[in-house]
Chains A and B, each alone.
Chain A
Amino acid sequence: MEIDFTINGKATRLNIDPAMPLLWVVRDELNLKGTKFGCGKAMCGACTLHVDGEAFRSCSIPAEFVSGKSVTTLEGLSESEEHLHPIQQAWMEENVPQCGYCQPGFMMAAARLIEQYPAPTDEDIKNNITNICRCGTQPRILKAIRRAAEIKQSLKS
Chain B
Amino acid sequence: MATENKKTFSRRKFFQRSAIVLGGVVVATYAAKGVIRRFIAETAEGMDMPSMLANNEALLWFEILPDNTVLMKSPKIEMGQGIFTGFAMLAAEELEMPLDRIKVEHASTSNGPIDKVSTGGSNSTSSLYVTIREVAATMREMLKIAAAKQWGIKPSEVKAHNGELSSGNRKITYAALAAGTKDWEVPEIPALKPASEFRFVGKDFKRIDLKQKVLGKPIFGIDQTFPGMLYGAILQSPYIGGKLKSVKTDLAAQSPGVVKVIHEDDLVAVVAKSRYAAQTALEKMEAQWDVPKKWQQDEFVALTKVGTGTRVNVQNEGSAESAIKDHPEEVFKQEYRTPMAVHAHMEPNGSVVHAEENKATVWTGTQAPDMVRGAVSSALGLGKDEVNLKVAFSGGGFGRRMDLLQPQNVARISKIVGQPVHVFNTREQEFMNGVFRPQTHHVLAAKMNKNGEVEAITHDQATPDQIFSMAPENVGAFFLGADFISAGHGASIMYNVKNKSTSVWHQQLPVTTGIWRSVGIFPNTFAIESFMNELAHKTGKDPIALRMDLLKGSEKINKRYQKVLEVLAEKSGWDKTKPEGTGRGVAICNDRKTIAAAVAEVEIIDGMIKVRKITQVIDPGMVINPEGIRMQVEGATMMGLTATLYEEIKVKDGQIASSNFHEYPMVTLADTPEIEVVIVQGHDEPYGVGEPPMGPVAPAIGGAILQLTGKAVRSLPIRLS
Contacts and interface: CB of A to CB of B under 8 A. Distances in A.
B223 A102 contact: no
A139 B634 contact: yes
A100 B395 contact: yes
Nearest to A99: B80
Interface stretch (A39-47, A50-58, A64-72, A149-157): A39-47
Interface string B316-351: 000000000000000000000000000111111000
A41 B660 contact: yes
Interface of A: 17, 20-21, 24, 27-29, 31, 33-41, 43-44, 46, 73-75, 81, 84, 88, 91-92, 95-104, 107, 125-127, 129-142
B661 interface: yes
B225 interface: yes
Contacts of B214: 84, 88, 91-92, 96-97, 103, 107
Contacts of A35: 216
B301 interface: no
The CB with the most chain B CB atoms within 10 A, among A44, A129, A134, A141, is that of A134
Contact of A75 (B79, B216, B257, B276): B216
Nearest to A132: B666
A39 B257 CA distance: 23
10 contacts: A28-B274, A41-B660, A43-B662, A98-B82, A99-B397, A101-B345, A132-B346, A132-B666, A133-B346, A134-B396
Given A95-B627, A139-B638, 11 more contacts: A20-B274, A20-B276, A24-B276, A28-B274, A40-B426, A84-B214, A107-B214, A132-B346, A133-B638, A134-B346, A142-B672
A136 B210 contact: no
6 tightest A-B contacts by CB? A136-B638, A101-B395, A34-B216, A99-B80, A100-B213, A136-B635
B628 to A, nearest CB: 9
A139 B675 CA distance: 7
Which of the four size classes fits the interface of chain B?
Answer: 35 or more
A81 B346 CA distance: 25
Interface in B407-425: 424
B345 A99 contact: yes
A24 B275 contact: yes
B505 interface: no
B638 A103 contact: no
Interface string B225-238: 10000010000000
A99 B394 contact: yes
A36 B669 contact: no
A6 B493 CA distance: 62
B396 A38 contact: no
Interface in B632-670: 634-639, 642, 660-662, 666-670
B229 to A, nearest CB: 10
B427 interface: yes
B669 A129 contact: yes
Contacts of A36: 222, 346-347, 395
A97 B210 contact: yes
Contacts of B81: 98
A148 to B, nearest CB: 12
Contacts of B275: 24, 27-28
Contacts of A133: 346, 638
A44 to B, nearest CB: 6
B207 A97 contact: yes
A106 to B, nearest CB: 9
A64 to B, nearest CB: 14
The CB with the most chain B CB atoms within 10 A, among A28, A130, A136, is that of A136
B219 interface: yes
Contact of A135 (B209, B210, B231, B396): B396
A154 B189 CA distance: 53
A151 B452 CA distance: 58
A100 B219 contact: yes
B418 to A, nearest CB: 20
A132 B647 CA distance: 14
